[in-house]
Chain A
């Protein structure tokens, strides 16, 4: 490895040196190098970096050993839905794909906009390749709705994957993703371009172990009249970051961004979003609900950016509500509205607290035992955030329910 490479990251940790070595072993590529440099500016992001104060990958990723954890079950697996599987050993795709969907595995790496703002997304892009494609392009054409499922799982040291979707004008894609961990570091970058009038339904399920780090970065760009409905259920990991960066770049684009997180002892779940209203008359609806147990940590960071000229007639709302189910639970929230335009409707709300004592007593007076009453109220509390998942809502709710009954 060249000296220049080794010196890219200042005071590297052992894990970062391993990451550098892995990068050096990949086929040289100018775009890959630029992406790695974008990552190297911060290295594994940690508490000294703005936006990573509560989600410290540098401290959490101490080594990149292969984990021996048993694989997590995939609650979103369905018969008859084309499934792409991404593991450290490579990727697999079904022999036949639904009509309207084309897959193009590119050896070389494609450029990525805003790499500096998403260091772990940049790292996923820089490390994908070798046994997996440098970039997997998925082309979705107009016609009947296209359904696709993607699974990301170990075992291995690093699982890095990058998928780039192009939704042609009028196309409709229903994509589900199960991020099941199983590697010491799982990093996925998923990009979506929604052409005029395209519709995206994206449902994400994330679960990870207490010695794993996971980052799922989504970059979404929407043209005129495009609409996305995003739903996430996250159970966290030692550190888990689910980051969505969305740009309304033409008039009349609409996004619904919902997420629920449930973090148990020793686990952390971070929901971070950044929405730019780069065109007039665009709509964003964001709802995040969380529940955390003793020793668990939830993080919500949401930002709406509404520029002065392009952001007029923006209609946007952001809501985050967290339940601290036990003493010792932690929730950190940072909702931000940066509004420079004057003709907009923007609202936000942020709450965190315990379950309502009056509600608990009402349930118990009817004979429902305390633990069951807590689970019922918590499930009801987060349910609204999962309503957008359509056919997959029941599967997500069942996972949340199982967790609540087990946790209580």
Chain B
């Protein structure tokens, strides 16, 4: 279970530091999929970066635990080894590093950190081939440098490929739907749904309700001004779509 309690965080340094998360509390039990929706500037991406430990964000109060362990004290790579995965809103290009090399290095680094043995090359290739097929990824693409020259849709599918390869315990999907056409969205959602499991949790961050037609959440939270202001079932996403954030937020205050 991912448990966030009264989390406050700032971005920037010194006098320029700006509070983005302002007492955020949230619990996603293992096996559930929760969605976070919110207007621009609510703190959605900041939450994903604070959870995964990106530089430039400072936690000023509160806590976040994954399966009971404090994750905020860990280096980003240790959080990954503990099973936390972020599907980036803007996946990063890594010139000169082929996808397969990258993912295998990551997988073995995680396994080493957990005291497990490395995956053999044949096992890795077999697994990669199976997952590429599910996601309709061209195997040639996996030999090319990570994200270099990939379309927006290809980049997002590659995030899901990495997620399926690394089999994290908890996944944060940051605006995975942005930049996807309807076919790509369906493929990506199928990949995500295939990963739904009783021992795995998921937090889906999105601006629009559209993604939630394909990835059905157990709960929907509304994030505004750095806090969760409203929580409900999947119907809350439809209300937001129909009435807009202003309508729902006015009622919440």
Contacts and interface: CB of A to CB of B under 8 A. Distances in A.
Interface of A: 357-359, 361-370, 372-373, 376-377, 379-381, 383-384
Contacts of B113: 367, 369
A369 B74 CA distance: 12
Residue among A364, A373, A379 with max Cβ neighbours from chain B (10 Å): A364
Residue among A357, A365, A368, A373 with max Cβ neighbours from chain B (10 Å): A365
Report the contact-size class of chain B (Cβ under 8 Å from the partner): 20 to 34
* Interface residues of chain A: helix, strand, loop or mixed (majority): helix
17 contacts: A358-B92, A359-B92, A359-B93, A361-B54, A361-B76, A363-B94, A363-B106, A365-B52, A365-B53, A365-B80, A365-B85, A366-B162, A367-B77, A370-B75, A377-B94, A379-B96, A381-B96
B92 A364 contact: no
A370 B109 CA distance: 11
A383 B96 contact: yes
B191 to A, nearest CB: 17
A358 B90 CA distance: 10
A370 B113 CA distance: 13
Nearest to B165: A366
Contact of A367 (B80, B95, B97): B80
Contact of A372 (B75, B94, B105, B145): B105
Contacts of A361: 54-55, 76, 92
Nearest to A372: B109
B36 interface: no
Contacts of B55: 357, 361
Nearest to A382: B96
Given A366-B80, A366-B102, A367-B106, 17 more contacts: A358-B92, A362-B88, A362-B91, A362-B92, A362-B94, A365-B54, A365-B80, A365-B88, A366-B109, A366-B166, A368-B105, A370-B75, A370-B77, A373-B77, A380-B97, A380-B145, A381-B96
Contacts, number: 75
Residue among A366, A367, A373 with max Cβ neighbours from chain B (10 Å): A367
Interface in B83-117: 85-86, 88, 91-97, 102-103, 105-107, 109-110, 113
B110 to A, nearest CB: 4
B8 to A, nearest CB: 22
Given A361-B55, A364-B76, A364-B80, A369 B109 contact: yes
Contact of B106 (A368, A379, A381, A383): A368
A100 B109 CA distance: 50
Contacts of A359: 92-94
A364 B105 contact: no
B223 interface: no
Contacts of B94: 359, 362-363, 377, 380
A367 B102 CA distance: 10
A269 B203 CA distance: 50
Nearest to A371: B77
Contacts of B28: none
A380 B92 CA distance: 15
A379 B76 CA distance: 22
B235 to A, nearest CB: 33
A365 B109 CA distance: 11
Contacts of B52: 365
B81 interface: yes
B163 to A, nearest CB: 10
Given A366-B166, A370-B75, A384 B96 contact: yes
Contacts of B53: 364-365
Contacts of B105: 368, 372, 376
A15 B43 CA distance: 66
Contacts of A370: 75, 77
Contacts of A383: 96
Nearest to B107: A367
A366 B102 CA distance: 9
B77 A364 contact: yes
A357 B55 CA distance: 8
B96 A365 contact: no
Nearest to A379: B96
Contacts of A358: 92
A384 B97 CA distance: 11
Contacts of B79: 365
A386 B90 CA distance: 30
B109 A367 contact: yes
A365 B86 contact: yes
Nearest to B82: A367
Nearest to B111: A367
A397 to B, nearest CB: 11
A372 to B, nearest CB: 7
B176 to A, nearest CB: 15
B75 A376 contact: no
A361 B86 CA distance: 11
Contacts of A384: 96
Contacts of A376: 97, 105
Contacts of B95: 380-381
Contacts of B88: 362, 365
A197 B14 CA distance: 64
Interface in B50-67: 52-55
Contacts of B162: 366
B77 A369 contact: yes
Nearest to B97: A380
Nearest to A357: B55
Nearest to B94: A359
A259 to B, nearest CB: 17
A370 to B, nearest CB: 7
Leading 8 A-B pairs by shortest Cβ distance:
A380-B96, A367-B80, A366-B106, A367-B110, A364-B76, A362-B92, A364-B77, A367-B109
Contacts of B80: 364-367
B77 A368 contact: yes
